[in-house]
A = this chain, B = another copy of it.
């Protein structure tokens, strides 16, 4: 049984053939990506029966903490996606009656999103199920395992472009986004 996917194996085989020496690092990278992809697939498969996706689940969860409701803008910020994406997710959630949209009184540009009773139930139940499942993936890891894995992941992460870019934003004269 192999954690890697078809495409990774093809890439590795070719890299090996060329003998460029970095094959071991390539494999490692693909293992990280393949594990994450496997977890994402599991997550999607577990949420699908409820008519939910990962993105929708995050919104549900965010709203659950905020009894007063949140605006799409706030949801976007907290979920880390664009407002346009939130609009799309809310369309689905509203259609399936997990959520209601209601115009704000003090600022008529704003919309207030609240959980419906169905949404409340789903959020409460799924949050538990979900966190228990995720935790179970790492069942059997003790504190030293966790620290070892975390440290190794951090070391790789320090080499990503995205993190580099996030490091010196002060030097820029203009923030593009």
Contacts and interface: CB of A to CB of B under 8 A. Distances in A.
A131 interface: yes
Interface in A29-56: 29, 31-42, 45-46
B7 A80 contact: yes
A79 B24 contact: no
A interface SS class: helix
Nearest to A130: B11
Contacts of A175: none
Given A14-B65, A33-B40, A137 B160 contact: yes
A23 to B, nearest CB: 8
Copies of this chain held together in the complex: 2
Contacts of A31: 149-150, 153-154
B153 A138 contact: no
Given A14-B127, A28-B149, A161 B42 contact: yes
Interface of A: 1, 3, 5-7, 10-11, 14-15, 20, 22, 24-29, 31-42, 45-46, 58, 61-62, 65, 77-80, 127, 131-132, 134-141, 143, 145-146, 148-150, 152-157, 159-163, 166-167
